[in-house]
Chains A and B, each alone.
Chain A
Amino acid sequence: MAVDITLLFRASVKTVKTRNKALGVAVGGGVDGSRDDLFRRSPRPKGDFSSRAREVISHIGKLRDFLLEHRKDYINAYSHTMSEYGRMTDTERDQIDQDAQIFMRTCSEAIQQLRTEAHKEIHSQQVKEHRTAVLDFIEDYLKRVCKLYSEQRAIRVKRVVDKKRLSKLEPEPNTKTRESTSSEKVSQSPSKDSEENPATEEHPEKILAETQPELGTWGDGKGEDELSPEEIQMFEQENQRLIGEMNSLFDEVRQIEGRVVEISRLQEIFTEKVLQQEAEIDSIHQLVVGATENIKEGNEDIREVPHL
């Protein structure tokens, strides 16, 4: 196990100090002191880089704190049942999204700026390497914080999609209960988020619209409230057909959703890979261009040599 001898070191410093005093050697005061002050001051302008780097880091830290603080509320699904205090409306969520995106963009711009500046100034190889690495670290930090954000967002989007799916397929295509269910739906929708209202309201209206003509035709035709057995049978067949249709639609939609999610994931992976390759392709391009030049020059040189 490692042993901390810092205290021992400080004690040694004291010992040396007293010994030097006894021997009459100047200890860090006078001329040395001012020289050291100068020394300490001159690195400061160079320290500009690191102070700006630290600024960027603190910004990213603020973003991270902000996201983490509101994360619980953001993800909370049953916001409409919560008290006023904990609720977050969709507009607020949108606001958070927007703010976060702007923030991230400014941060990455700042990092880029630092990078170009660092390369412009002439410094030793080691300092350059160090700065590149520092900027890599900061970028990595930004990526991690962005991941927080995108995770939240993904959860939110998924939840919206789920809700949409559920709300669309909820009403049973049953004539007797259609109206009641659609009326249920209509009463439910105001309590749901504003976004979904147009979608959900559409559907019950459609169903209402659908039922109207049917009831209408039958109503006109018979003029009675009772339905004959054949009619009942036909209604039932129609019901079955519609149920079948709805179910198959439902299945297809679910499949498509699954595939879309997969595809989006794949796309994410691909974009990452393509971005990675971009830098390499650039360098390959440079190399090829350089090689072509070299070959051209080589050919010219060969041509110049008088044939023997």
Chain B
Amino acid sequence: MASAAAATAAAAASIRERQTVALKRMLNFNVPHIKNSTGEPVWKVLIYDRFGQDIISPLLSVKELRDMGITLHLLLHSDRDPIPDVPAVYFVMPTEENIDRMCQDLRNQLYESYYLNFISAISRSKLEDIANAALAASAVTQVAKVFDQYLNFITLEDDMFVLCNQNKELVSYRAINRPDITDTEMETVMDTIVDSLFCFFVTLGAVPIIRCSRGTAAEMVAVKLDKKLRENLRDARNSLFTGDTLGAGQFSFQRPLLVLVDRNIDLATPLHHTWTYQALVHDVLDFHLNRVNLEESSGVENSPAGARPKRKNKKSYDLTPVDKFWQKHKGSPFPEVAESVQQELESYRAQEDEVKRLKSIMGLEGEDEGAISMLSDNTAKLTSAVSSLPELLEKKRLIDLHTNVATAVLEHIKARKLDVYFEYEEKIMSKTTLDKSLLDIISDPDAGTPEDKMRLFLIYYISTQQAPSEADLEQYKKALTDAGCNLNPLQYIKQWKAFTKMASAPASYGSTTTKPMGLLSRVMNTGSQFVMEGVKNLVLKQQNLPVTRILDNLMEMKSNPETDDYRYFDPKMLRGNDSSVPRNKNPFQEAIVFVVGGGNYIEYQNLVDYIKGKQGKHILYGCSELFNATQFIKQLSQLGQK
């Protein structure tokens, strides 16, 4: 039915949009925001804590905040001066210290009126603390509105979210998997994760069907989440999932599927070297919350003795949804990106020339009478050229941005020979024959940092069916130590492998090939900046990572020994159903994959590629924290230390 298709399309209204709309409404004094071109300006001050800052910054730029009438945006725990006659909108987590600071603000009468918004639900006792302070300061009437926003998660893309950035150590892979964790600590971690997931589903406006593997942290999360959702649904008065939160027909017939997986089913992917643009930027550059920080090294110069050394230029760029180039190419293999940047640059130059040509024609005007007849046409052209100037400038800015970013990435690739690593790892993971021995690569002083070598070896260790013999292992260890690696991660992986040996079958990946050099030579011939000399032009063949495979099985209701004994939860059903038999036999249209223990862009990209081929289906990807290989190795290293 057309309407159902339209409804599903609307339902997949991205999580980013929903969260942005919720934020805008909050900033508009909790009233839906309507744009009115001749509306009176209202001004307000925004106060947030670090959690709030992390949530807002990927979604709203400073300009957008301005457009909503925000004159100042300040951190809660900073020195703030009283600004009379201005309403203040607070967006904070309901923690002890935040509440204390807010009470202090009330006592000091900093602002005229207070709109308090809590990122996740505030407890009754803390609410009474605020009430107490408000009474003491006779400021009760000044507290205009108090809201529970249920926005305790960070949306990075239309279809990707992470739980938190500030306290990610609390819910990191290490925190969940360390051997000395106590029950209470585990409970806290799980509660934090479940709280965020609950907020996520409240914002999404849907109650999912939950599936998870047995015996993992994911299972604990699933049980708790199911309980929380169930309790909320039963409470008819305060249920968050009824009425106007769920527009009619918004989710057509089906509810989404939530697949909870544990990081431990696949440790190779976080260590993998990658080849797509966004994942590469995350891997080699300093990239988080959609902002990439580059250090531009100024050229080496002979500075006269005594002069101060030149400072390295630090630049940071925001990679946002309005950046069309980024949206188009964030999942493309790197050579394609280089080529596209080149193409964009050329088309921009052509447009620039067009404008310059008009300029010279205008210059003719005074000299040649005959040119005046051309003029009428050209005035129109000139107007359109002038009005298109802002567009052109924006385009130039984006091209510059991506040129810088891509160049930085390329430098890393060349210096560390990342293409070699990528190819090799792909071969290991897909179990094709290896042309170069692993030992060679590890002992090669030119190829990559010690960390790269460690990653490679760990992937090898994880993916082999049989563990290498003791002698071989010693050889590898020696080579690794010679190359400067720390062997702690290996300790942990050994343990992990022993632990999961009883579990699932080894992950199987697809295969990848190298494309012939034709494309590469063209790039080189156009005198491109991106001289990919010596860099292989690798093309990714579609392969399904373990997480994608699991999703595929569950979403399409395929029978597979790996996923057949996954648990099944349906919070909407009256009786707690503990069976593994799903009641629903139809394939799902919407799914949310959540990795407990951390995820990365490689998995995200893989899911995006997987779902691209399927019409009308949508996937959201979430993880408790987002780490790149460096950070993950650090955690493994900490776990491996005894």
What chain A residues lie within 8 Å of B86 (beta carbons)? 50, 130
Provide the A128-149 mask, 1 if CB < 8 A to any CB of B, else 0: 0110011001101100110010
Chain A nearest CB: distance from B557 CB in Å? 31
Kindly report which residue of chain A lies nearest to residue B242, judged by CB atoms.
Answer: A1
Once A2-B25, A32-B136 are accepted as A-B contacts, the answer to whether A137 and B43 lie under 8 Å apart by CB is yes
**Interface residue B124 (Cβ < 8 Å from any Cβ of A):** yes
By a beta-carbon cutoff of 8 Å, the part of chain B in contact with chain A is 22, 25-26, 30, 37-38, 40-41, 43, 45, 66, 69, 71-72, 74, 80-86, 109, 117, 121-122, 124, 127-128, 130-132, 134-138, 140, 143-151, 202-203, 205, 238, 240, 244-245, 375-376, 379-380, 382-383, 386-387
User: Does the CB pair A6–B145 fall under 8 Å?
Assistant: yes
What chain A residues lie within 8 Å of B124 (beta carbons)? 8, 12
What chain B residues lie within 8 Å of A219 (beta carbons)? none
Question: Which of B22, B43, B145, B380 makes the CB contact (< 8 A) with A133?
Answer: B43
User: Does the CB pair A5–B379 fall under 8 Å?
Assistant: no
**Interface residue A262 (Cβ < 8 Å from any Cβ of B):** yes
Once A57-B40, A266-B382 are accepted as A-B contacts, the answer to whether A16 and B135 lie under 8 Å apart by CB is yes
User: Does the CB pair A5–B146 fall under 8 Å?
Assistant: yes
What chain B residues lie within 8 Å of A130 (beta carbons)? 43, 45, 71-72, 83, 86
Chain B nearest CB: distance from A83 CB in Å? 29
| Complex A-B: 23 CB contacts under 8 Å | A1-B244, A4-B30, A4-B146, A4-B147, A5-B147, A6-B147, A8-B127, A12-B131, A16-B131, A16-B132, A17-B135, A27-B135, A36-B137, A57-B41, A124-B81, A126-B80, A126-B83, A130-B72, A133-B66, A148-B38, A258-B379, A258-B380, A259-B375
What chain A residues lie within 8 Å of B66 (beta carbons)? 133
User: Does the CB pair B138–A2 fall under 8 Å?
Assistant: no
User: Does the CB pair A269–B386 fall under 8 Å?
Assistant: yes
What chain A residues lie within 8 Å of B151 (beta carbons)? 2
What chain A residues lie within 8 Å of B81 (beta carbons)? 123-127
Kindly report which residue of chain B lies nearest to residue A49, judged by CB atoms.
Answer: B85
CA distance A32 to B140 in the complex (A): 14
Chain B nearest CB: distance from A218 CB in Å? 39
What chain B residues lie within 8 Å of A144 (beta carbons)? 37-38
Once A9-B127, A9-B131, A262-B383 are accepted as A-B contacts, the answer to whether A2 and B137 lie under 8 Å apart by CB is no
Chain B nearest CB: distance from A221 CB in Å? 42
CA distance A262 to B386 in the complex (A): 11
Kindly report which residue of chain A lies nearest to residue B41, judged by CB atoms.
Answer: A137
User: Does the CB pair A1–B386 fall under 8 Å?
Assistant: no
**Interface residue A78 (Cβ < 8 Å from any Cβ of B):** no
Question: Which of B72, B85, B128, B240 makes the CB contact (< 8 A) with A1?
Answer: B240
Chain B nearest CB: distance from A127 CB in Å? 5
CA distance A8 to B146 in the complex (A): 9
What chain B residues lie within 8 Å of A133 (beta carbons)? 43, 66, 71-72
Q: Which 3 A-B pairs have the closest CB atoms?
A: A133-B71, A137-B41, A50-B85
Kindly report which residue of chain B lies nearest to residue A44, judged by CB atoms.
Answer: B84
Chain A nearest CB: distance from B435 CB in Å? 57
User: Does the CB pair B135–A134 fall under 8 Å?
Assistant: no
Question: Which of B128, B203, B205 makes the CB contact (< 8 A) with A12?
Answer: B128
Question: Which of B84, B127, B136, B203 makes the CB contact (< 8 A) with A50?
Answer: B84
User: Does the CB pair B37–A5 fall under 8 Å?
Assistant: no
By a beta-carbon cutoff of 8 Å, the part of chain A in contact with chain B is 1-6, 8-10, 12-13, 15-17, 20, 27-28, 32-33, 36, 39-40, 43, 46-47, 49-51, 57, 60-61, 64, 68, 123-127, 129-130, 133-134, 137-138, 140-141, 144-145, 148, 255, 258-259, 262-263, 265-266, 269
Once A1-B202, A32-B138, A129-B71 are accepted as A-B contacts, the answer to whether A15 and B83 lie under 8 Å apart by CB is no
User: Does the CB pair B30–A258 fall under 8 Å?
Assistant: no
User: Does the CB pair B41–A16 fall under 8 Å?
Assistant: no
What chain B residues lie within 8 Å of A258 (beta carbons)? 376, 379-380
Given contacts A2-B150, A141-B41, A262-B382, 12 further A-B contacts (CB under 8 A): A2-B25, A3-B240, A13-B131, A16-B131, A28-B135, A36-B138, A47-B84, A50-B85, A123-B81, A127-B81, A130-B43, A134-B71
Kindly report which residue of chain B lies nearest to residue A3, judged by CB atoms.
Answer: B148
What chain B residues lie within 8 Å of A32 (beta carbons)? 136, 138
Chain B nearest CB: distance from A195 CB in Å? 28
User: Does the CB pair A3–B150 fall under 8 Å?
Assistant: yes
User: Does the CB pair B149–A2 fall under 8 Å?
Assistant: yes
User: Does the CB pair A43–B376 fall under 8 Å?
Assistant: no
CA distance A156 to B461 in the complex (A): 80
Kindly report which residue of chain B lies nearest to residue A254, judged by CB atoms.
Answer: B376
Chain A nearest CB: distance from B529 CB in Å? 30
Kindly report which residue of chain A lies nearest to residue B148, judged by CB atoms.
Answer: A3
**Most B CB within 10 A of own CB, among A2, A4, A49, A61:** A2
User: Does the CB pair A126–B72 fall under 8 Å?
Assistant: yes
Chain A nearest CB: distance from B47 CB in Å? 11
What chain A residues lie within 8 Å of B383 (beta carbons)? 262, 265-266
**Most A CB within 10 A of own CB, among B71, B128, B151:** B71
